[in-house]
Amino acid sequence: MKTLVMYSLLITLFTGCTQINKPMQLNKNAVECLNQFKNKQKFQQQNGPNFYPGLSRPNVLPVVSEIINQSADDFLKVVQSNASEEEFRKQIQAGLKRFDAVHLELDTEDREKICAYYEELMDCVGLDSSDGILNNWMYGFDPND
């Protein structure tokens, strides 16, 4: 009886682990969307409902644009490897870490814009949630916890 219970637990554990890292269903146009994202100008003033005054310190524009474009490249590599949602989340964390060097140069609106860009990248591939990564970076905690 103990053996049967042990096998049942092992099968349940193994099944759960394989589903965590299973490849996600990507958007059909993920590569095209990511390439379009890379080619557009970023951190420019926007009017309308998503008002953004533009980068608070224009001198860091080349650096922050390069960092966010590196994240698009990271996402492209994950798309080509047919990886899991968790791999995309790891790339979000790695990308946000790159902003540490210029973090003091960014105001709140700039950091919100960075999060919005990551949401665009997530939309390109069909990733529904950063699992709190963006909230933790922006606010220092996940309000959903």
| pLDDT tens-digit readout, 43-85 | 999 999 889 999 999 999 999 999 999 999 999 999 999 889 9
pLDDT at 9 over 70: no
What pLDDT was estimated at residue 82?
Answer: 80
29, two tokens: 């146009």
8 Å CB contact between 99 and 106: yes
Q: Which CATH architecture has domain 25-139?
A: Up-down Bundle (1.20)
What pLDDT was estimated at residue 25?
Answer: 86
pLDDT at 14 over 60: no
Question: CA 51 from chain center: how many Å?
Answer: 22
8 Å CB contact between 67 and 116: no
Average per-residue pLDDT for the chain: 87
Least confident of 37-41, 44-48, 82-86, 132-136: 82-86
Indicate left, alpha or beta for 127 from its phi (over 0: left) and psi (-120 to 50: alpha).
beta
Percent of the chain with pLDDT over 90: 73
Nearest in space to 63 (alpha carbons), one of 34, 42, 36? 42
